[in-house]
Structure 1
């Protein structure tokens, strides 16, 4: 059965942005990749969901996002180029960020090394410090809103989605969330956010405590579902100490102290600012200064340093096989998404050996080839010692989904593909082999 094509794909918005692909989808809108005609540059185009635009205050929140982000000048914040309307649709043109969402990293690798976790947290705090200086509160800090860019050995962060951000000191600001409505992600919300109270930068520091807890332990302090139970934890239960949860990780006491300080129920007892917290986190991992004469003694006794050797990145990445019945066409960007998520993509044929593969992704070349792809995926899944098989197919064809799972396929990836969803499902497939 042919799937319903996304009507935005190929559309020219406002006469200057041609949509080339889908990057992701959230509660307020969908983010597409688009080429800015004339300038030949790619942008991220955020489009408000039509049904969301009809809710009270949603349109104002969306328009305000452009204004807020344009004021925030920091290399770790996404830059806004343009915003406007195209017919009844609202759009926001932003910097196209090429990188890996932090939640996909956690799904693939699990908790980070302590030094890496602290450094990423400190970089996020530097962006928050710049935002707080403008009177802005992010209000939805979480792993999926942090993108890692640059070299994998020394990544930099980009903090995404200030769509829920609020101005702290604007007394004339209309209450855009509506009466009694609380917006945010429960697993990372401060107690005052859960109660619907006015927020300041210390609410973001609480969310930072939840995020750093997840980077070190692998999960936020009170889990992520159900929402009522999670919010009850934020309001009433003491946060679990990270060193007690993962004693084998040798997390410094001062790092744990700072995480717990961020998670204090009383905002007045949290760190005074994002800048202070970033500095204290880095100091917690700094080596102690040498005692008098110790430095010269070490110079005399230590051999000359040698350059560290490490295997190439491609040898560390887990191999994932990719097969497209009838030959490669790559119409969906699956291979690119897997590579960005940190996997080594190995194109294979239907008769090739799958030995050493950690997972296999089967992609139909077209809607008309979906049945063929299902047959092949089902056959490959029954091979002795076969890796978990994931089948890509129409997000509208529920019959295909159910038949795929019933035939032994490990998981189903709806098309058009959401890169984060693909990374999560491949990560689960890899974990199933342990």
Structure 2
């Protein structure tokens, strides 16, 4: 294992020159960088310095690049390159000049119904593609949905699903760190919490939580303590969305209740099936 060299602005990692930090998580740091071969801007994700000595984190970081590269889908952010240089593990991907869904909700509050449905349909399509590759994303949340400015029609955003570090084959429990668990708790499926087998229907549950939050302007289960939130996911029925979003009718409540059923067998069979039912209940459609 090569010795890690601290990264500073202007540093070169493989064919990428670091310009500025644009994001940070429990496992990695993301920089805006210049691709010196192609002359384009990229998002350069590197394993955080404090994680470089952990074989588990190194393995998981490399796993993310392999998974994301293996799935060619218009709503999964493209990977341009990955590897190790000067002891730094990196993934170079398309730079999306826009907020993640979580930042957008923090800034603007609840989104219009039509816009939310379009984002949901795009993410659902990406998740179903993940599941068709016999994988579970395992970390669906607003912060892992990037929103580029769309140039198509009147749709303001184009969604990308990111962060495949927890992707696993179905029936394996995705692993998390304590920091990631805290950030993901509002979207965890009951079976993830209890350590039961997980498949694509766990991602569907998480997507439903994200859609609920986008429309209501707040989480499905607003709780002050993580333990109370975990218990709510396992035992409480989701509050009626129509009460928090008056544009919607009670028909939507039935769809959300099925998508967030405690047992995976009682949910929809795919993420696209869930969004189609949601659109039908809301009396609309997206292209």
**TM-score for the superposition, normalised by structure 2:** 0.88
Check the 8 A contact 2:141/2:206 in 1, yes or no: yes
TM-superposed CA distance for 1:281, in Å, is 2.2
Q: Contact 2:255–2:281 at 8 Å: present in 1 too?
A: no
Q: Is the 8 Å Cα contact of residues 242 and 253 (structure 2) preserved in structure 1?
A: yes
Kindly provide the CA deviation profile for residues 146-197 of structure 1, in whole angstroms up to 9, marking residues without a partner as x: 122223841221112122211227x8xxx8838x989541111001111123
Q: 2:85, 2:203 → 1: CA distance?
A: 34
How far is the alpha carbon of 1:224 from its aligned partner?
A: 6.3
RCO higher in 1 or 2 (8 Å CA, sep ≥ 6)? 2
Q: Secondary structure at the match of 2:208?
A: helix
| 3-state SS, counterpart of residue 175 of structure 2 | coil
Q: Distance in 1 between matches of 2:27 and 2:179?
A: 14
Match of 1:336 in 2: none
User: Contact 2:237–2:257 at 8 Å: present in 1 too?
Assistant: no
Which deviations, in whole Å up to 9, do the C-alpha atoms of 1:352-372 show, x marking residues without a partner? xxxxxxxxxxxxxxxxxxxxx
Provide the alpha-carbon RMSD of the alignment.
2.4
Deviation, 1:143, is: 1.1
The secondary structure found in structure 2 opposite 1:125 is: helix
Q: Judging changes above 3 Å, is the alpha-carbon distance between structure 1 residues 269 and 22 closer, same or farther for their aligned structure 2 residues?
A: same
2:228 alignment partner in structure 1: 229
Alpha-carbon offset, residue 100 of structure 1: 2.0
Is the 8 Å Cα contact of residues 182 and 194 (structure 1) preserved in structure 2? no
Question: Taking structure 1 as the reference length, what is the TM-score of the superposition?
Answer: 0.59
Corresponding position: 1:239 with 2:238: yes
- Provide the rounded CA distance (Å) in 2 between the counterparts of 1:121 and 1:241: 19
The answer on whether the counterparts of 1:80 and 1:92 sit within 8 Å (CA) in structure 2 is yes
Cα distance in structure 2, aligned partners of 1:231 and 1:102: 22
Which residue pairs with 2:64 in the alignment? Answer: 65
CA distance in 1, matches of 2:284, 2:134: 35
Give the match for residue 278 of structure 1.
Answer: 275
Q: Map of 1:119-268 to 2, 5 A cutoff?
A: 119-151=118-150, 153-154=154-155, 155-168=157-170, 177=175, 184=181, 185-223=184-222, 225-244=224-243, 246=244, 249-268=246-265
Number of equivalences: 275
**Mind listing any 5+ residue stretches in structure 1 that lack a counterpart?**
1-5, 289-434
The answer for unaligned runs of 5 or more in structure 2 is 1-5
Give 1:82's aligned residue.
Answer: 81
What SS does the corresponding residue of 1:261 show, helix, strand or coil? Answer: helix
